[in-house]
Amino acid sequence: MEHLQLQNITIQKDGRNILDNIHLKVCKGDKILIQGPSGSGKSTLLKAILGFAKGCTGTILLDGQSIDARSIKTFRNHFAYIGQKPLLFEGTVREYLELPFSFRHNREKKPPKDKWLAVLTALGFGPEIMAGTYHSLSGGEQQRITIAQALLLRRDIYLLDEVTSSLDQANIFRVIDLFTTSEEQTIIAVSHNREWAQHATRIFTLQNGQMHEQGGAS
């Protein structure tokens, strides 16, 4: 059964269709890569999935249930979105990682300490990073901490918008490995990095408002 379905997703801007009747069926565990030229609507598609794209028409279903204005907030709790620019934050790394768990709907999901350390280690950090200030980190380090935060939330579906664009080669491989080794984790990634194509189970090209499946690594 499809985990997520997009039906007839269309977005118009300045008289042209940025997205033109996009259809996509996503099964649990899919590792989907969306490629295409800059400005083709890849990032817009991710925003449309979460209901943040203006003027979007069409239908989105999660586990067969249609999403509407009444259910959109609950729907979003199944997702983690990571963009290419980390957020501004003045506190410590620990405080940044803990921030999502201060919200009521996430409090019971807070993982044990050993899970925090395991995720940080997998991203190339030692435990001492927790005491440092987030804003003193480099852009690439902030991005990896943001990725750690999203992984600790253990969402059903991860929407990744050029998340490895600021990382060096070693960390690109670390991040891709973390997101693609779990059979349960569902990924929809937008990226120009060719390394993603080696791990994606399905690859799509988005151009001129149309999306076509090209294949996948497995």
- Tell me the domains of the chain and their CATH numbers: 2-78+156-215 (3.40.50.300)
Q: Given its phi and psi angles, is residue 59 left (phi above 0), alpha (psi -120 to 50 degrees) or beta?
A: beta
Q: What is the pLDDT along the chain (218 residues), one digit of tens a residue?
A: 569 999 999 999 888 899 999 999 999 999 999 999 999 999 999 999 999 999 999 999 999 999 988 899 999 999 999 999 888 899 999 999 999 999 888 888 899 989 999 999 999 999 999 999 999 999 999 999 999 999 999 999 999 999 999 999 999 999 999 999 988 899 999 999 889 999 999 999 999 999 999 977 65
Neighbours of 168 (CB within 10 A): 10
Question: Is residue 79 exposed (0-12), middle (13-18) or buried (19+ Cβ within 10 Å)?
Answer: buried
pLDDT at 34: 98
Q: Given its phi and psi angles, is residue 31 left (phi above 0), alpha (psi -120 to 50 degrees) or beta?
A: beta
Measured on CA atoms in the order 185, 187, 191, 196, is the torsion positive or negative?
Answer: positive
pLDDT at 104: 87
CA 113 to chain centre: 24
Collect all residues with Cβ–Cβ distance below 8 Å to 25 and sequence separation of at least 6: 2, 4, 5, 6
Distance separating alpha carbons of residues 73 and 69, to the nearest angstrom = 8
pLDDT at 1: 55
As a three-state string, the secondary structure of 155-210 is CCEEEEECCCCCCCHHHHHHHHHHHHCCCCCEEEEECCCHHHHHCCCEEEEEECCE
Collect all residues with Cβ–Cβ distance below 8 Å to 94 and sequence separation of at least 6: 130, 131
Distance separating alpha carbons of residues 61 and 3, to the nearest angstrom = 8
pLDDT at 69: 84
- Strand duo 2-13 + 16-27: pairing: antiparallel
pLDDT in tens, 50-82: 999 999 999 999 999 999 888 999 999 999 999
pLDDT at 217: 64
pLDDT in tens, 77-108: 999 999 998 888 999 999 999 999 998 888 88
pTM for the whole thing? 0.94
